[in-house]
Amino acid sequence: MAQSGFEGFEKRLELNFFGDDPMMNIGIGLRQLSFESVQEILDAVQCTVVSAMGNQYFDAYVLSESSLFVYPTKIIIKTCGTTQLLKSISPLLSHAHDIGLNVCGCRYTRGNFIFPKAQPFPHTSFKEEVMYLEESLPNSLCYRKASVMPSNKTTHSWHVYSASTDEYHMVHHMSNVFTMEVCMTELDRVLARKFYQHSGNGNSGDISGKEMTMATGINDIIPSALICDFSFDPCGYSMNGVNGVHYSTIHVTPEDGYSYASFELMGFTDDSDDIDRILNKVVQIFRPSTMSVSTTCASHDMSMHVKNAIEQNGLIHRSCTIDEFPAAGSIVFQTFTTRRK
């Protein structure tokens, strides 16, 4: 393992809001935030927008370090490297309050950092992160829980903090929405090379990103999705998929010694039959040696689809941990490895 390098494992923050803003009723809400306000939030995190797209349901931004999704009453920020994600909370809550919205739910998740000693405050430890979250959120979010979900791989555990108000706690548990967060390490070296830019071609990050999307088959994971993609110099890749009300996102750090890729998908549990095909394609594109999947929804049913799909690709199911969280529901954390591990 390399002694230092780029941190691929992302931090993910999801905030949900409610309020009397009439713009929410026509699907605007948080989407009316100006680009200057969005960039002010990202400045606190220490990243910037490199590409963007949207539809009638939400806006999706590819960032210099991962992704941002803005719905009328929900915002999701996912950042890698040494970004200070939790520092986005204060400006986010302030801008939301200015348009008549108040936070009612929060979920923060991440895996194990490859280079934990390189992380700045408040991400130096999960304990520090939880303390920062506790101090940053209003007292109205009275249902709170923090937990580290273990696995039999010391390099893969799942850190979760969740908080919610009374109202959001009750409504969310009736939801049919799921979120799947996939973390992959030790990617196949030949496949990882596809995420390096060709030296001397002079292509922009947008053009090279589109070439990588097609060359790797990422465009076939969810064929109906509109894709906003970007490649980095000399290597690395990010994409957001926009498919109706659903999003998907992929981020790749392909360097030998600390190669990493993530895939995230939001969907409806009614569409669970598609999970087999989607995960099959994801595994074929990256061929990781170790893979973890966190599935968040109101029930445990989705986790069996995940297990069956990944085992069909020759990976061995190593562990499964289940826990319940306010503002999240049931989280199932599973790990898989190749037979040689």
Which amino acid makes up residue 152?
A: N
Report which secondary-structure segment, H or E, holds 310.
Answer: helix 301-311
pLDDT of residue 202: 67
pLDDT of residue 279: 94
Q: Which of 37, 64, 66, 248 is catalytic?
A: 66
**Would you list the DSSP string of 152-219?**
SSTT--EEEEEEE-HHHHHHHTT--EEEEEEEEES--HHHHGGGBPPTT----HHHHHHHHHHHHTGG
pLDDT of residue 1: 36
76 neighbors 122 (Cβ within 8 angstroms): no
Q: Give pLDDT < 70 ranges for the chain.
A: 1-4, 21-27, 167-174, 200-202, 272-273, 327, 340-341
pLDDT of residue 192: 96
**Catalytic site includes residue 299:** no
pLDDT of residue 114: 87
From the number of C-beta atoms within 10 Å of its C-beta (0-12, 13-18, 19+), residue 155 rates as: middle
Q: Which of 86, 91, 52, 56 is nearest to 72 (CA)?
A: 56
User: Rounded to an integer, what distance in angstroms lies between the CA atom of residue 341 and that of residue 325?
Assistant: 31
Q: Domains (ranges, CATH) in the chain?
A: 11-338 (3.60.90.10)
**Catalytic site includes residue 159:** no
User: Rounded to an integer, what distance in angstroms lies between the CA atom of residue 315 and that of residue 337?
Assistant: 5
User: Rounded to an integer, what distance in angstroms lies between the CA atom of residue 158 and that of residue 151?
Assistant: 8
**Catalytic site includes residue 169:** no
- Whole-model pTM above 0.85? yes
238 neighbors 250 (Cβ within 8 angstroms): yes
Q: Quote the strand ranges of the chain, DSSP E.
A: 11-19, 49-54, 59-63, 66-70, 74-79, 101-110, 143-149, 158-164, 177-185, 226-231, 237-243, 246-253, 260-268, 290-297, 316-325, 329-337
pLDDT of residue 2: 42
User: Rounded to an integer, what distance in angstroms lies between the CA atom of residue 307 and that of residue 280?
Assistant: 11
Q: Which of 88, 208, 231, 238 is catalytic?
A: 238
- Give 119's DSSP letter: P
pLDDT of residue 282: 97
**Catalytic site includes residue 173:** no
Q: Quote the strand ranges of 220-287, DSSP E.
A: 226-231, 237-243, 246-253, 260-268
pLDDT of residue 172: 53
Q: Which of 251, 292, 305, 330 is catalytic?
A: 251
Q: Which of 148, 173, 164 is nearest to 106 (CA)?
A: 164
23 contacts: CB under 8 Å, gap ≥ 6: 29, 32, 72, 99
Which residue numbers belong to the known binding site for substrate? 6, 65, 232, 255
Q: Which of 64, 67, 80, 88 is catalytic?
A: 80
Which residue numbers belong to the known binding site? 6, 65, 232, 255
